[in-house]
Every structure is written in structure tokens, then in C-alpha cells.
Amino acid sequence: MAGHSKWANIKHRKARSDAKKGKIYSRIAKEVISAVKQGGADPQGNPRLKLALQKAKAANVPNDVIDRNIKKGSAADQADFTEITYELYGHGGVGILVEVMTDNK
């Protein structure tokens, strides 16, 4: 912990929880943007977007963040995210599959 100051402890706790939330929000944002790029901005006609919105609601992502990402995905100048699967081998020959979304080609 940070020491004996109550406010310093709160600051460190809040920083950790904010970092965790930010990581979740950015992962869901990439999913929403990718879904909008592939199937359009209407959740009724885009099952992938509907699933991404359900995940966002389950993670308590605010509606303004969701709406902002839908607009970002429907913009023409937005970079396109692609899904890539990497096959890795760890210690002892253990196989690992890593699924990532990236805009770097």
C-alpha cells in the first residue's frame, strides 16, 4: 500500500480499478468497432454487434462509450481491425492459441 495516508491509499486503489476498467472497455470497444465494420451499425441485422453489445452491458460499459464506438466503427476513415490467431508452444511443448484483434497489418 501507499502508507498511512487514507487518501493516498484511495488514490492507489482507484488507479488499479480504473486501469482494470480501461482494459475491459478497450477490448469491448475493439469488438464493437470490428462488428460494425463487418455487418453495419444496426444490432438487429448484425448478430456479431448484438453479441458485442450484450458483452458490453454485462461488463457495465456506459451507453455513451458504446455509442461513441458504434459511430467510430461506421466512420470511413477508421482503421479496420482484423482478427488473427497465433499458435504458440510453451514450456514442455504445451500448445497455446492466442486470438487477437489488431489494426496493424
- pTM, rounded to two decimals: 0.67
Is pLDDT of 95 > 80? yes
H/E run at residue 82: strand 82-89
How many separate domains does the chain show?
Answer: 1
Residue 1 placed within a domain: no
Residue 16 placed within a domain: yes
- We report the CATH number of the domain holding residue 59 as 1.10.10.200
Residue 54 placed within a domain: yes
Q: How far apart are CA 34 and CA 78, in angstroms?
A: 10
Is pLDDT of 83 > 90? no
Q: What is the predicted pLDDT for the residue at 82?
A: 78
Is pLDDT of 41 > 80? yes
Q: Which has more confidence, 76 or 51?
A: 51
Partners of residue 101 on adjacent β-strands: 83
C-alpha dist (Å) from residue 59 to 25, 32, 38, 65? 8, 13, 23, 12
Q: How far apart are CA 103 and CA 82, in angstroms?
A: 6
Residue 94 placed within a domain: no
Residue 12 placed within a domain: yes
Q: Which has more confidence, 75 or 98?
A: 98
Residue 24 placed within a domain: yes
Residue 35 placed within a domain: yes
Residue 61 lies in domain:
6-78
What mean pLDDT is predicted for residues 28-39? 88
Residue 34 placed within a domain: yes
Q: Please name the residue ranges forming H helices in 63-105.
A: 63-74
